Amino acid sequence: MSSDAVVLSALLAAALDGDRQALARLISAAERGATLPPLTPPTDRAEHQLCIGFTGAPGAGKSTLVSALTGHLIAEAGAAAVLAVDPSSPFSRGALLGDRVRMHEHAMDPRVFIRSMATRSETGGLARATQVARRILQACGWGLVLLETVGVGQVELDVVYTADLVVVVLNPGWGDEIQANKAGLMEIADIFVINKADREGLESTRRDIDAVIINRPEHQRPAVVETVASEGKGVKELAKAISLARESLCASGELHRRRQRQFATELEQELLRRFKVSMTQLRQEESYGELVEALASGADTLDGAASRLQKIVLGKIALR
Amino acid sequence: MSEPTTNATTGATTSATGKRVLMAKTGLDGHWRGPTIVATALRDAGFEVIMIGMARAEEVVQAAIDEDVDLVGLNVGGHVDVAVRAVEQIQSSCDGVPIFAGGVVPPHAKRKLEALGVEVYPPGSQLPEIVEAARRLTGII
Amino acid sequence: MQTPPEDRKWTSASGIPLKSFYLPDDVPEGHRRVLGAAPGEPPFHRGAYATGYRTKPWRIFQLSGFGKPEDENERIKFLLEQGETGFLMEHDRNTADHLYNVDHPEVLARREDVGLTGAVMQSVRDIDICLRDLPIDSTYGHAGGAVVQHAPYALAGYWTVARRRGYDLSRLPGTGQSDYFLTYLGCVTKQQVPTDAGLRLNADIIEFCDQYLPRWVPVSIAGYNGADSGLNAPQELGALFANAVEYLEEIKRRGTMPLAKAARGCGGVSFRMSMDVFEEASKLRAARLMWTQLLAERYDITDPKVSNLRIHCVTAGSRMQYQQPFNNIVRGTLMGLAAALGGVQSLGVSGYDEALSIPSEHAHQMSVRIQQILQEETNIASVTDPLGGSYYIETLTAQLIERAWAFFDEIQAQGGFLACLDSGWLHQQAAENQHQEFMAQADGSQRIIGVTDHTDDVSPFEVDGFMGVDDAFDVALERLEAVRRERHEKGAADAMRALEQACRGDANIMGPMMDALEAEVTLGEIGDIYRQVWGDWSTPIQT
Ligand SMILES: Nc1nc2c(ncn2[C@@H]2O[C@H](COP(=O)(O)OP(=O)(O)O)[C@@H](O)[C@H]2O)c(=O)[nH]1
Ligand SMILES: [Mg+2]
């Protein structure tokens, strides 16, 4: 074993033993792309081994809702982990991660583990890092994972490939967004939450959602739950809806299919990542320049140059 | 922007990418002016800044552990002993995580915190100076 | 690093481009119409009163307070002896802003902080001690309650003490504050009632004063706290009036009192005075004109007694530097001068040790002396609106008004002032300005003496922070226990129940609040009721 692998195994052993610091460090290593020892995956039957994704526009109240729901769920599940993802700045790659402020009531609860994550890289990167973090958590006894992601751009769609079940958080007065089916959000929902139900426009938003989901077969029609997260209202109902949705996904085999797909996605993404790393290395090398030159001078076709490049890259990946 | 080279296990790196800083306020008297500006500057320098707002010593410690941060920034004010208590708890529970502090820190308080190994940036400190400190304390430079 | 003069962009602090001199034609057409108005006449930009400081010198009004109620009482007496002409109470911010008693876990964790930013006042007994021997029937007092959720308690406490002393509430002078800028923008507390609940509290206070305390200024919108968090001059103006509109709309919706009286109640405001002397002086002129416009155009109120805005100013705390603190005496003087030139009814000058701690006795004395020197030695009190008619000042006044209304409109377009606090938009505007300012300091385009330049401090005097007293927490805890032990428990419980009911319904809460104070219900118990009923407002965080 390499020395890195030794360190990671030791961390995993400690994390499995309940050491939070080791768990936290393991997640950091995963975020940086470290290769982890095998992890025990969740089982479909276990009710409290579930990754619930929450997505919606900034300010919709996701963090507040996740916090309130966590308070509710730990009573039964015994423990819950929260992964709160916010975007990195595309310019500096830095990030301001503020979700913990909303989850303050759990700050000192040993049954709750909260981790803030930045999206860091472009599409796909988030899914990989959160997926690994989720796997680490679940393997280390944190079966219930609540994953908050910001519903902006491509990122929120990745959540489908990470979470077992998706809750889309909307607010009253968002009719236009719903009708425009913003970024496909409406299609990925297993449950809709209309949070800030204390605000005006609740009825029309409900109607807009109904109009969108009416076309789906009844057994696949998402539940719509109204909440006032800041006052804890509707949270019990949401927990109930989640439980029902999980049961139905499990019974239909869809939960199993989704988890298979999660692994497949993870696998493909890992391969793509390796490919990218090799490409980055390759760009520095002479042979790459020669290939480009051959293409530019007309000595080789795109197809021919690409085939040769493919061979070199695959060779590099194999060498790792 | 230069490509960072990172060791996946240890996190050793040449840029701030992936370096994590926890920002907390020890007091209840709430001017947020300083910490927000510093947080933004750190973000712009490539750090991931985790904000937890007003927090007690044990809450800072818990967040620092769970978030696996490389640096803790404390906004202090009021009585220096409140900050001292937070510093001592962080130092005893999060081995080796460096701490820097800003806020209303009169000279006697500054001396007391510095004696504990905390770098102190009183009002009037310039942002580049603070960012530089974060880079140094997280081992980037 | 210094920018050569030819490259430098000459602008006001808020970014209004400046010419090197001004001519009559520079004054915008529309503004020329009002140039002939005298002070004390609408649209009042030249001053609220014709005779200005000759008949009404501005009130010397310093924020003060620390330690135990008796420590604060002593400091207030000291300031009054020094020539202060009104007084401000400050309640300990750790407990008061959050409505926590000292035995709340959040306070226990920071017990040493208790009493550092105001005196601890957990029941009417403490407020009584703080006001001991003070002539509250005749002196203009500020009861504290700067933070919205704290105001009903602070006011009811002050009024209960006054009533117990046999004073007629209908003749009691003074002011409340309950300021949105402080509460939701400047000094966001850990726990705070949501903005709409706060609006209800403030409207209740306005109604209650209308009925029982006609000489009391019920609320005081403090643009100061917006500005010291980053809003520039026109933004401070625009946001302040957007805030006033929320109050007026709420009163209008209720229909329980004449709108003009509510407008009068909202017409005592405070602004920040910063270092751009002419822009700040112009800002005050702009403010008075805008208020007249707003009331006339939006609410058809033209009674000059209502539409002359009364202004309190505080010099910018954030301009007081940590380095070379004695320089701050000069800064305080200049900012005070700007206020005096623009026309104010009252003024507070920040202590020279502001960046280090709450003011020491000496710093406080200097703040008073600065104002006395301005009033007595400079002769600026002789002539009202001495800057009036200056091409530059009139142009700047008109430009500020134009930009301020644009900002006001932007706020309205987003659903109004409360919506902009809830969404974090105002925070973002403030943060952007501050960020730019920091960048300007870093790149040398903004220079601060002793901080960015001339940093060698050879002063023989070290100024250290004032640390108040040691026993504030212990005494507060003892007194809290004494209140719990000695009060009529059933009376207190009934009063709490009645207060909770009032909070849940829509009756005015100030009556039940007075009863609660009378029954010695404590600060933290009132906070618990609020938290039960309304939950928390949480800061919008920008990422
Ligand atoms: N009125 C109201 N405000 C809410 C509700 N839920 C959350 N908020 C507020 O909305 C703001 C944004 O909430 P947050 O949880 O940070 O949203 P996120 O960006 O989606 O995570 C905060 O100020 C919350 O207090 C609700 O149900 N009603
Ligand atoms: Mg969030």
CA A64 to centroid of ligand 1, rounded, Å: 6
Would residue B56 count as lying in a domain?
yes
The number of domains in chain B is 1
Residue C535 confidence (pLDDT): 85
CA–CA dist C8, C11 (Å, integer):
9
Residue B2 confidence (pLDDT): 38
What pLDDT, in 10s, does the model give residues C486-496? 999 999 999 99
What pLDDT, in 10s, does the model give residues C16-73? 999 999 999 999 999 999 999 999 999 999 999 999 999 999 999 888 888 999 999 9
Sign of CA dihedral C105, C108, C110, C113: positive
Please give the residue that has the higher pLDDT: either C9 or C233. Answer: C233
Averaged pLDDT, A29-55: 87
Residue B3 confidence (pLDDT): 44
**C-alpha pair distances (Å), A246 with each of A132, A156, A157, A243, C240:** 22, 20, 20, 5, 50
Mean pLDDT taken over chain A: 88
Minimum mean pLDDT among A285-294, C152-161, C511-520: which range?
Answer: A285-294
Residue A46 confidence (pLDDT): 85
Would residue B7 count as lying in a domain?
no
Averaged pLDDT, C250-267: 96
By C-alpha distance, the chain C residue nearest B43 is C543
Could you give the strand order of the β-sheet that contains C174-175, starting from the edge strand earlier in sequence?
C63-64, C87-89, C141-142, C174-175, C216-217
Contact B55 A32 (CB under 8 A): no
**% of chain A with per-residue pLDDT over 90:** 51
Is the ipTM higher than 0.85? The answer is yes
**% of chain C with per-residue pLDDT over 90:** 85
What is the C-alpha radius of gyration for chain C, rounded to an integer number of angstroms?
23
Confidence of residue B8 (pLDDT cuts 50, 70, 90): low
By C-alpha distance, the chain C residue nearest A103 is C538
The amino acid occupying position C414 is: Q
Does any CB of chain B come closer than 8 Å to the CB of residue A273?
no
- The CATH number covering residue B61 comes to 3.40.50.280
Sign of CA dihedral C249, C255, C258, C264: negative
What pLDDT, in 10s, does the model give residues C289-319? 999 999 999 999 999 999 999 999 999 999 9
Minimum mean pLDDT among B110-124, C92-106, C182-196, C197-211: which range?
Answer: C182-196
CA A133 to centroid of ligand 2, rounded, Å: 18
The answer to whether the CB of A63 is under 6 A from ligand 1 is yes
**Residue ranges covered by each domain of chain C:** 51-455+462-472
Would residue B129 count as lying in a domain?
yes
Contact B8 A33 (CB under 8 A): yes
Burial of B141 (0-12, 13-18, 19+ CB in 10 A): exposed
CA–CA dist A36, A29 (Å, integer):
9
Residue C458 confidence (pLDDT): 67
Averaged pLDDT, C514-520: 98
Task: Say if residue A5's pLDDT is above 70.
Answer: yes
The answer to whether the CB of A230 is under 6 A from ligand 1 is yes
What pLDDT, in 10s, does the model give residues C494-509? 999 999 999 999 999 9
Q: How many Å is the maximal CA-CA distance in chain B? A: 44
Question: With a CB-CB cutoff of 8 Å, which residues 223-262 of chain A face chain C?
Answer: 230-232
Contact A101 C536 (CB under 8 A): no
Residue A120 confidence (pLDDT): 79
Residue B4 confidence (pLDDT): 46
Among A1, A2, A23, A97, the strongest candidate for a mutation testing the B interface, having the largest count of B CBs within 10 A, is: A97
CA–CA dist C439, B40 (Å, integer):
12
Please give the residue that has the higher pLDDT: either C473 or A162. Answer: C473
Q: Which residues pair with C141 in a beta bridge?
A: C87, C174
Would residue B39 count as lying in a domain?
yes
- The answer to whether B19 and B140 are in contact (CB under 8 A) is yes
CA–CA dist B95, B65 (Å, integer):
10
Contact A94 B47 (CB under 8 A): yes
DSSP state of A40: P
Task: Say if residue C543's pLDDT is above 60.
Answer: no
Q: Which of C429, C427, C321, C451 is nearest to B129 (CA)?
A: C451
Would residue B1 count as lying in a domain?
no
Averaged pLDDT, C143-157: 97
- The answer to whether A137 and A88 are in contact (CB under 8 A) is no
Averaged pLDDT, A214-226: 87
CA A84 to centroid of ligand 2, rounded, Å: 7
What pLDDT, in 10s, does the model give residues C410-463? 999 999 999 999 989 999 999 899 989 988 998 889 999 999 999 886 666 678
For β-strands C141-142 and C87-89, DSSP reports them as parallel
By C-alpha distance, the chain B residue nearest C227 is B33
Give the minimum alpha-carbon distance from A96 to chain C in angstroms, rounded to a whole number.
5
Question: Is 3.20.20.240 the CATH classification of the domain at C51-455+462-472?
Answer: yes
Q: Residue A1 corresponds to which tokens in the numbers above?
A: 């074993």
Residue C539 confidence (pLDDT): 78
pTM of structure:
0.91
Among B3, B38, B50, B60, the strongest candidate for a mutation testing the A interface, having the largest count of A CBs within 10 A, is: B50
Please give the residue that has the higher pLDDT: either A40 or B136. Answer: B136
What pLDDT, in 10s, does the model give residues A57-88? 888 999 999 999 999 999 999 999 999 998 88
Q: Which domain, by its residues, includes B37?
A: 17-137
The residues near B66 (Cβ < 8 Å, ≥ 6 apart) are: A20, A24, A113, A114, A115
**How far is the first Cα of chain A from the last one, in angstroms, to the nearest whole number?**
14
Residue nearest to atom 13 of ligand 1 (CA): A61
Residue nearest to atom 26 of ligand 1 (CA): A196
Minimum mean pLDDT among C128-137, C253-262, C381-390, C532-541: which range?
Answer: C532-541
C partners (3+ CB pairs within 8 A) are A, B
Residue A176 confidence (pLDDT): 66
Would residue B5 count as lying in a domain?
no
Task: Say if residue C258's pLDDT is above 60.
Answer: yes
Residue C9 confidence (pLDDT): 85
What is the DSSP annotation of C338-403? HHHHH--SEEE---TTTTTSBPPHHHHHHHHHHHHHHHHHS-TTSSSSTTTT-HHHHHHHHHHHHH
Q: Which of B64, B51, B61 is nearest to B25 (CA)?
A: B51
Rounding to the nearest 10 degrees, give the CA dihedral for residues B23, B29, B33, B36: 20
Minimum mean pLDDT among A95-109, A211-225, C387-401: which range?
Answer: A211-225
Residue nearest to atom 10 of ligand 1 (CA): A61
Q: Is A172 helix (H, G, I), strand (E, B) or coil?
A: coil
Residue C240 confidence (pLDDT): 98
Would residue B2 count as lying in a domain?
no
Cβ contacts (< 8 Å) between C453 and chain B: which residues? Answer: none
DSSP state of C11: B
Cβ contacts (< 8 Å) between C190 and chain B: which residues? Answer: 28, 30, 53-54
Among B25, B26, B29, the strongest candidate for a mutation testing the C interface, having the largest count of C CBs within 10 A, is: B29
Q: Residue C216 corresponds to which tokens in the numbers above?
A: 């009391």
Task: Say if residue A110's pLDDT is above 50.
Answer: yes
Task: Say if residue A169's pLDDT is above 50.
Answer: yes
**C-alpha pair distances (Å), C339 with each of A141, A185, A192:** 63, 54, 54
Confidence of residue A127 (pLDDT cuts 50, 70, 90): low
Averaged pLDDT, C251-263: 96
Contact A230 C535 (CB under 8 A): yes
Task: Say if residue A307's pLDDT is above 50.
Answer: yes
A partners (3+ CB pairs within 8 A) are B, C
Mean pLDDT taken over chain C: 94
The amino acid occupying position C73 is: N
Task: Say if residue B110's pLDDT is above 80.
Answer: yes
The answer to whether the CB of A106 is under 6 A from ligand 1 is no
